[in-house]
Structure 1
């Protein structure tokens, strides 16, 4: 099933001239070869909010065209419903297996406005949709009641929730509470990579992963352990990455992941849309040491 297991979210390597298409293709092919369960192109890690419609369509085409048999989920978030509908049309035209929608805003949105967004968009879809709940970027807080209403809409197939509580019992309660309020066919996917093992152990069916887009084998090991009942193994594998999680918390996962990709030579520098930048030299050296210690370099 597309909205379960590991969904890997790659960077969209770019600079102020344009998208580095050959590099992006290599990242996609790398994920397909690793055997990830799906690829999430144009998520927050893919810098979707910084790209034009034409650029996003091109990225969608490249992702689908080079993912082999791996399902590709395309982000379609935008400030206006009109633009979201255009992006949904483009994603479907490119051959996306599914779409990912966050309620982007400049003016703070109400629950009814967000429900109206999903109601309108799902009416025009022929592919399944994942609800993107990411208050760190959208500054919108979903209630479980709103998730429940949206989950009843046609084509809604998954909810991408932010990190679960650290305590395993509290995480299980959180997942169970949401599960009881949504249809059985709608999966729950955890994001916030530091919380992934806890979320999967607590009953989430998917991990929408930042590191999965760069270190797919590492993320797959955590995912497979958790989903086969090896909760302790999943926790241990995740705990080893604690230094990386600490950098994510301090600088944001996008900056850290892009810097790591630059260090590893997987993308060229610069790789992020200005004014967003990768880490400065002192922190870059610190990250290099962490990558070496974790055998990720």
Structure 2
């Protein structure tokens, strides 16, 4: 479950709410490409903007159409009570794992975050991935907190932010974290731009935005890394640099939403308001990049 490539698709919306047909198509694209797992309702999947009923529906659709590929579902919410409801819904849908970031309105303390994970872990029957995502939660895990949380039941992986594209720096960071944690905890890349480096320098899993829309190249990068072909993995990732430029400037969700709309994989607009996909000149420039890279529906 927590190794290789995990594809994180959009949750496309339309005027009726969740665009079930478009979502299922994204799931099926990833499955056909050979991803190792699917991560629904992540940040790219707009979980924070959806109702409990919508999230339960998406979890069920993902499991139903994943064709035995393991599915992980985000259960993040601002209150522990809501997180527990979402965990129950996800487990009833038949997911293989859950993903939890410490979502909040008031900035959380380390003890509050630990208590959240401790409480949730007592109500799980499936593994949990810890999502350290300070760009959205505004909470950053310390290594000490990694250690505390990793001792809890059901915790199986940590999605680590801000890893470097520099191989030596990334290897040193991963080795430092791994030395603190139980052996069963896997370490994963939270960002696409440095993922090839993470996978070739000791990381276990790539939690990938792009694989939720264009899975073929991420699958190739992951397999090259798993086979020890560092040069091939890095070259394939470098070939996506024109797309990475957009990710750095605009963030991944607005870029992949615009790409999905441009290619007819989702109707426009597909993001929950007030979010907007790229528009105007930047949207046209993205269309040109997709064409040059051969990224198509």
TM range (shorter): over 0.9
Query: Which residue number corresponds to residue 265 of structure 1?
Result: 264
Q: Map of 1:82-121 to 2, 5 A cutoff?
A: 82-121=81-120
Match of 1:28 in 2: 27
State the partner residue of 1:10. Answer: 9
User: What's 1:209 paired with?
Assistant: 208
Note if contact 1:16-1:274 (Cα within 8 Å) is conserved in structure 2: no
Aligned twin of 2:73: 74
Are 1:131 and 2:130 counterparts?
A: yes
Structure 1 ranges of 4+ moved more than 6 A: none
- Aligned equivalents of 1:262, 1:36: Cα separation in 2: 23
The answer to whether the 8 Å contact 1:16/1:273 transfers is no
For residues 179 and 75 of structure 1, the distance between their equivalents in structure 2, rounded to whole angstroms, comes to: 24
Aligned-pair CA distance for 1:163: 3.0
Distance 1:37 1:128 in 2: 16
C-alpha contact 1:11 1:46 (8 A) present in aligned 2: yes
TM-score (norm 2): 0.98
Unpaired runs of 5+ in structure 2?
none
1:231 and 1:122 mapped to 2: Cα distance? 37
Q: List per-residue Cα deviations over 1:94-152 (Å, max 9, x = no partner).
A: 00000000000110001000000000000000000000111111111111111111011
Report the alpha carbon displacement of residue 83 of structure 1 after superposing the two structures with TM: 0.3
5+ long unaligned stretches in structure 1? none
**How many Å apart are 1:215 and its aligned residue?**
0.8
Cα distance in 2 between the residues matched to 1:57 and 1:48: 11
Supply the distance in 1 between the matched residues of 2:73 and 2:27 (Cα, whole angstroms). Answer: 13
How many residues end up aligned between the 2 structures? 296
Asked whether the equivalents of residues 74 and 98 of structure 2 are also in contact (C-alpha less than 8 Å), the reply is yes
CA distance in 1, matches of 2:45, 2:189: 18
Mapped partners of 1:16, 1:262: distance in 2: 15
**2:198 corresponding residue in structure 1:** 199
**Alignment map for 1:164-175 (pairs within 5 Å):** 164-175=163-174
Contact 1:163 1:199 in 2 (8 A): no
**TM-score, normalised on structure 1?**
0.98
Partner of 1:225: 224
Tell me by how many angstroms 1:166 deviates: 2.4
